[in-house]
Structure 1
Amino acid sequence: MRWLGFSGALLLTVATLLNAAATPRWLTTVPAVVLAAAVAGMGTVVLAWVLLGRLVVTGGDAAPGPRALKWTVLLWAGPLLAAPPLFSRDVESYLAQGAIAARGLDPYVLGPRQGLGPADELTRNMSGYWLDTPSPYGPLFTAVQRLIAQVTGEQQLTGLLLYRLVALVGVALVLWAVPRLAARAGVPANAALWLGVANPLLLWHFVAGVHNDALMLGLMLAGTVLALSAVDERVQWWRLSAGVLLIALAADVKLPAVVALAVVGTALARRLGGTLWHLALTGTAMLASVAVVSAVVSLATGLGFGWLTTLGTSGQVNSWMAPTNWFGFLTGGIGSLFGLRITQTMIGVGQLVGYALIACGAVVVVHRQLRGSLGELPALGLLLAVVVAFGPAVQPWYLLWAAVPLATCLPAGRARTTLAALVALFAVLLPPLGGNFSGKVGQLVAGYLGGALVVAALAFLARRGAPERTHTASARR
């Protein structure tokens, strides 16, 4: 399975490199073929991951251990390091926002078109969704963006490589934290690593996609490891402080990481006595901690507090994956039949309902954790799942916010299988070359069908070979 997944990652990388090198003349004949190859590579990695999961679940001598799974992650990620950014163009926004900050302008006030000008190469390369929107990221990540822009200047390729390095730091932190959190929850480390780190969704969007969610998640999980281990018996205040600091820094990359402080604060409240008074005390302390850390980062970097006004920027694009937006799309579509333009208004109503559901869900989860009917890691995963499901914007990689913590605590059974199925589905939801096939539905369909046929053939061959391998293994025993 290890080399099957490597072959898929290599095929995906080669296909995307061919697409990046394509000339306009090629675009009339090649894209469907290249897309089919890319989809086949994606599907091959997903297939290898599923087959690997069967070995992990069944156990026995053939099951890979934690060390083997870590090497598998590195092997599958290797080819993707040579691929151009896949599945989204967010990294181009990172480059543009960093350039704005490096020029002494405020990325929390100016969008790339205003800050850099429409003729700038960074502006021309960007997705049109974010040309006129300010940065939605916290001060820590904006400081990283500014530093990369100052170091690389006009060298976009070098800037891309540095952003990929930042993402890999996040992945390394996730790889460090997951086995430790799994040990805490009594889940086998190899099962947690398979579902939480070796999954194709993480490879696509953290390694190949270069999303800053990797750094956010890595800092958050590392901080959670330290903070929760500090309240096991006697409270180790220095370790707790270090964990809270890392989580607060994660929130200064992207705000959703702050929910980990709710879990840590509730765990500390249980250790101190478990009353609502203790919860109020520890909750206040957690809020004060993240406020102090954010203030220090904002002032030390000279970026100020403008980021507080742009936290909702990502919700300005109507995400079709966000359930809270479906109400607006539905009612708006009905209204358009009668000449009414109410889509945006109804989307706003749906998002308000979503925020209320997030608040209610958080109260329920924290209350159950405080009473001891819900563990710390399930609470973290559920809180993040609620934030994703009812937030104003949903992207495939957002699933990782909840999936990785849940991978560390879900026992074998229906819940783990359901999560694995969601990961596999979201891993093939977006075409890696989708940005180059806008308005060409026929090519998309042809590419996906071609890729699916290749993967189906590989799955058939793997299924035929399974009984023979099982018989051979039994004979050896």
Structure 2
Amino acid sequence: MTLSAADRRSLTGFAVSGVGGTVVVSSDRLRWVGFGGVLLLAVAAWSGVLAVGPAVVSLAVGVAGVGLVVLAWVLLGRAVLAGRPRPSARWLKRTLVLWCGPLLVVPPLFSRDVFSYLAQGEVAARGLDPNAVGPARALGAVSGVVERVGVQWRDTPSPYGPLFGAVERAIARVSVGDPVVGILLHRLVEVLGLVLVVWAVQRLAAVVGTSRRAALWLGVLNPLVLWHLVAGVHNDSVMLGLMLAGTAIALGALGERVEWGPLVFGVVLIALAAEVKVPALVALAVVGTALARRRGGAVGDFVRVGIGMVGVFVVVSVLVSLLTGLGFGWVRALGTSGRVDSWMAPTNWFGFLIGGIGALMGADVTRTAIGVGKAVGYVLTVVGIGVVLRGQLRGRIGEVTSLGVILGLVVVLGPVVQPWYLLWAVIPLAVCLPVGRAWVWLTGLVAVFAVLVPPLAGDFSGMVGQLLAGYAIGIAVVGAAFLVLRKADAGERSMARV
């Protein structure tokens, strides 16, 4: 990848400057700094579960671990994009394996969603429909499985598709109620999804003609992947793996001559991804638009191909729903996650603001205002998707860029926003964005979301003092680590001049 002078100037956003100048640390040293960070995270996770020492200490250790990984990752970005020598794609993948290692054997971090998966799987294993009945109602509120589920999700049916429902059920049957075995099996499934993501990112980079190493660094090695696809055990890994692999195969089949076999296979993979989480459907729209453009780009081509894509999705949905025996209850449950008012969702901010003002006047209008905000978000999402697809059909927007931008709209304008949702857009954008200012902004966004949620999942509403103390101690540790790295860098430069 050749960088222009402007790109090189913009990449200073990846480095941190001090009295001695810009810090440029060797890649190998940063690899081990990041590994030290994930080890601290593992220690924090186990100390929290085993109640070893004060809670504030566990939190501080976890925050320090998070900070060290983010610091190592950001500084590594400069080496990947502009360093001499640059780390190879193989080196980056080995670093990913190294950083994932300690997180494979820790209790769930950052979120308790995996316990919902275990409960939903138990519901399905008992022959009930997890998309129609919540864990508390199906299993009993005093069930040991239900007690581990977050309070807001105990009475909520599963919002996931039948493919993931079948995975949950199979794990419930194999683990026979053992949460440790269940978590390990779910983590194995998510790691397999991550393997697909790694493969797909490299394949998409080849299709687009961008740097594999740059796409791997920003798209796969980033802290959000470590936190939420590995440590947090989120099924977004499976959705992303199937969706991106299908997109890579389908777009690769649209060369000078359309290869129908690989194209259909890729489309089926995307449809299967939507049987995990329905937002993957947007990839069908992107691939369909690419095929319509390949066939002439007329409105009629777009409509015909669109009908074909919908047909494939319907066939796959019917087959998966029938073969898994879970039926079609998932269609009614698509809006389940939107029942919880997410404070991160911009479409809910209007409702919270109006509701707060109304409360001062004695009026309860929060729910109504949030409903209005969500409705506006849905309309803007549809309009935005139409604009992006039109730009893609006319050749003004690339296919992978279109996928990243549309998924970004779905996240930002959707009723619920979680830190791991950011990966839906970050990974495809990491493949196609030109190196420069946009990379700096996207890196900053990932870094902010990586530290936004405390590593030890739980309710800290009554622990504000401990939360602040834990973050203060963790930040101090990261600051000290940065000073050590800067001193080591200055020493190496002095030796080089000698």
TM-score range, shorter chain: over 0.9
Question: Number of residue pairs matched?
Answer: 469
- Show the 5 A alignment for 1:48-447: 48-61=72-85, 63-435=86-458, 437-447=460-470
Post-superposition offset of 1:230: 0.8
Q: Supply the distance in 1 between the matched residues of 2:191 and 2:407 (Cα, whole angstroms).
A: 22
Post-superposition offset of 1:470: 4.7
Post-superposition offset of 1:83: 1.2
2:51 counterpart residue number: 22
Q: Supply the distance in 2 between the matched residues of 1:236 and 1:400 (Cα, whole angstroms).
A: 30
2:56 counterpart residue number: 32
Task: Identify if the C-alpha distance between structure 1 residues 470 and 233 changes in structure 2 by more than 3 Å, giving closer, same or farther.
Answer: farther
Q: Is residue 34 of structure 2 the alignment partner of residue 5 of structure 1? A: yes
Post-superposition offset of 1:201: 0.6
Task: Identify if the C-alpha distance between structure 1 residues 116 and 271 changes in structure 2 by more than 3 Å, giving closer, same or farther.
Answer: same
Post-superposition offset of 1:474: 7.7
Q: CA RMSD in A?
A: 1.2
Which of 42, 56, 59 is the matching residue for 2:66?
Answer: 42
* Other structure's SS at 1:109 match: coil
Contact kept in structure 1, 2:242 and 2:272, CA below 8 Å: yes
Task: Identify if the C-alpha distance between structure 1 residues 116 and 59 changes in structure 2 by more than 3 Å, giving closer, same or farther.
Answer: same
Q: Which runs of 5+ in 2 are unaligned?
A: 1-29
Deviation string, structure 1 residues 149-180 (Cα, Å, up to 9, x no partner)? 11111211111110000000110001111111
* Other structure's SS at 2:378 match: helix
Task: Identify if the C-alpha distance between structure 1 residues 344 and 287 changes in structure 2 by more than 3 Å, giving closer, same or farther.
Answer: same
Post-superposition offset of 1:434: 4.1
Post-superposition offset of 1:303: 0.8
Contact kept in structure 1, 2:250 and 2:267, CA below 8 Å: yes
Q: Supply the distance in 2 between the matched residues of 1:59 and 1:448 (Cα, whole angstroms).
A: 32
Deviation string, structure 1 residues 183-210 (Cα, Å, up to 9, x no partner)? 2222211111000000011000000000
Q: Supply the distance in 2 between the matched residues of 1:18 and 1:411 (Cα, whole angstroms).
A: 42
Post-superposition offset of 1:438: 3.9
* Other structure's SS at 2:215 match: helix
* Other structure's SS at 2:44 match: helix
Post-superposition offset of 1:461: 2.2
* Other structure's SS at 2:105 match: coil
Task: Identify if the C-alpha distance between structure 1 residues 136 and 474 changes in structure 2 by more than 3 Å, giving closer, same or farther.
Answer: farther
- 1:22 maps to a residue whose letter is A
Q: Supply the distance in 2 between the matched residues of 1:473 and 1:252 (Cα, whole angstroms).
A: 56
Q: Supply the distance in 1 between the matched residues of 2:139 and 2:468 (Cα, whole angstroms).
A: 37
- 2:277 maps to a residue whose letter is K
2:14 counterpart residue number: none
Q: Which runs of 5+ in 1 are unaligned?
A: none
- 2:39 maps to a residue whose letter is L
Post-superposition offset of 1:268: 0.2
Contact kept in structure 1, 2:351 and 2:369, CA below 8 Å: yes
Q: Supply the distance in 2 between the matched residues of 1:144 and 1:473 (Cα, whole angstroms).
A: 55
* More divergent stretch after superposition (315-324 vs 50-59): 50-59
Deviation string, structure 1 residues 62-117 (Cα, Å, up to 9, x no partner)? x1010000000000000111111011100000000000000011111110010000
* Identical positions, percent: 59
* More divergent stretch after superposition (459-468 vs 345-354): 459-468
Q: Supply the distance in 1 between the matched residues of 2:470 and 2:256 (Cα, whole angstroms).
A: 56
TM-score (norm 1): 0.97
Post-superposition offset of 1:473: 6.1
Deviation string, structure 1 residues 405-431 (Cα, Å, up to 9, x no partner)? 000111210001110110010000000
Q: Supply the distance in 2 between the matched residues of 1:16 and 1:330 (Cα, whole angstroms).
A: 36
Deviation string, structure 1 residues 238-273 (Cα, Å, up to 9, x no partner)? 000100010000000000001001110010001101
- 1:38 maps to a residue whose letter is G
TM-score (norm 2): 0.93
* Other structure's SS at 1:184 match: helix
Post-superposition offset of 1:458: 1.1
* Other structure's SS at 1:234 match: coil
